[in-house]
């Protein structure tokens, strides 16, 4: 029996093929697989691409894993409603997988980050969201998009920095020449006013604008006070997401960890320490920590859960396989 775990994201998809004990046999990558953006056909095509690569690496083919039995477990971005889950499940059953488990990608991120344990994670990439599990309870906080939410995300950080530039240009705040210089360089413009058509271009390029957050982090590491303050504010916002999820699940007073997932956390302590302080202020006994495993490993654990396997043993074998 095999487990085929898939992390289906908006940029790419990842596959991990394992035995039911957690031994990794092969891995693969495919194209973007966001349910909302790419549709069922796009998700199936990218999953097929990643699966074929994982099978080649494991020197197996589809007929072999179907003969032995396989659970296909997927975390799919953009698939948060029950009809989405049904739609995708039926699509993969038509592809020949009788045992399919589909969840939102936050589910597999939580499983991977905390090695299958209950608890809360905060995901901060282009957007931001908190997701937590306690027994049969689930809590989602945030994830409302760049207009109504996404506080502390890469896009949010970039916009806060660009507001500082605009305020300095207007005379509403001291002009930050260094931040202005790197903004002009990143967006390849010569005047501050030229930011306006770039930022308001439709459809908004959230990835490109949010990418400026890396420049903000770079300046913070060089001692730039404004950028350090922006990252601290982002950390506070992400901490509030975590606190709300912990309260919703009655975990606020329980010891444990809050997983810090996503590229924004590359900022390290500039973000994580203010986030921890926000948890401490709320009386939380949780410690902010980086994830144990990537979401694709969480997808394998989702499959292991569906088979009622001993997650601790599967986690131990997965960890051993990944270090080989």
pLDDT digits (tens, 9 = 90+) for 27-66: 999 998 888 888 999 999 999 999 999 999 999 999 999 9
Question: Mean pLDDT across the stretch 178-203?
Answer: 94
- Residue 242's pLDDT is 98
pLDDT tens-digit readout, 211-266 = 999 999 999 999 999 999 999 999 999 999 999 999 999 999 999 999 999 999 99
- Residue 146's pLDDT is 86
Whether residue 149 is predicted with pLDDT greater than 90 in this model: the reply is no
3 state SS for the chain? CEEEEEEECCCCEEEEEEECCCCEEEEEEECCCCHHHHHHHHHHHHHHHHHHHHHHHCCCCHHHHHHHCEEEEEEECCCCCHHHHHHHHHHHHHCCCCEEEEEEHHHHHHHHHCCCCCEEEEEECCCEEEEEEECCEEEEEECCHHHHCCCCCHHHHHHHHHHHHHHHHHCCCCCCHHHHHHHHHHCCCCCHHHHHHHHCCCCCCHHHHHCHHHHHHHHHHCCCHHHHHHHHHHHHHHHHHHHHHHHHCCCCCCCEEEEEECHHHHHCHHHHHHHHHHHHHCCCCEEEECCCCCHHHHHHHHHHHHCCCCHHHHHHHHHHHHCC
Rounded to the nearest integer, the mean pLDDT of the chain is 94
Question: Mean pLDDT across the stretch 103-130?
Answer: 94
- Residue 25's pLDDT is 95
């Amino acid at each position: 029996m095999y487990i085929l775990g898939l992390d289906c994201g908006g940029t790419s998809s990842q596959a991990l093929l394992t035995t039911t004990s957690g031994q990794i046999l092969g891995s693969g990558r495919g194209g973007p697989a966001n349910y909302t953006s790419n549709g069922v056909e796009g998700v199936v095509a990218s999953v097929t691409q990643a699966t074929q690569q994982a099978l080649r690496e494991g020197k197996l083919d589809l007929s072999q894993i179907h003969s032995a039995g396989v659970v296909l477990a997927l975390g799919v971005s953009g698939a948060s409603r029950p009809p989405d889950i049904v739609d995708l499940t039926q699509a993969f059953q038509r592809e020949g997988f009788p045992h399919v488990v589909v969840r939102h990608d936050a589910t597999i991120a939580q499983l991977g980050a905390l090695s299958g344990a209950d608890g809360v994670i905060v995901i901060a990439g282009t957007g931001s969201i908190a997701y937590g599990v306690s027994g049969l309870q689930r809590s989602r906080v945030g994830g409302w998009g760049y207009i109504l939410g996404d506080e502390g995300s890469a896009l949010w950080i970039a916009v806060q920095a660009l507001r500082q530039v605009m305020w300095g240009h207007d005379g509403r705040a001291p002009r930050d020449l260094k931040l202005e210089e790197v903004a002009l360089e990143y967006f390849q413009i010569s005047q501050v006013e030229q930011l306006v058509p770039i930022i308001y271009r439709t459809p908004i390029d959230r990835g490109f604008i949010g990418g400026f957050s890396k420049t903000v982090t770079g300046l913070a590491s060089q001692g730039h006070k404004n950028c350090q303050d922006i990252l601290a504010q982002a950390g506070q916002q992400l901490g509030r997401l975590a606190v709300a999820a912990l309260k919703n699940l009655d975990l606020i007073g329980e010891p444990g960890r809050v997983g810090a997932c996503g590229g924004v956390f590359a900022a390290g302590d500039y973000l994580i320490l203010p986030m921890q302080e926000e948890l401490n202020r709320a009386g939380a006994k949780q410690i902010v920590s980086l994830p144990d495993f990537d979401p694709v490993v969480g997808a394998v654990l989702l499959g292991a859960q569906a088979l009622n396997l001993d997650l601790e043993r599967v986690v131990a074998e997965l960890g051993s396989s990944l270090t080989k």
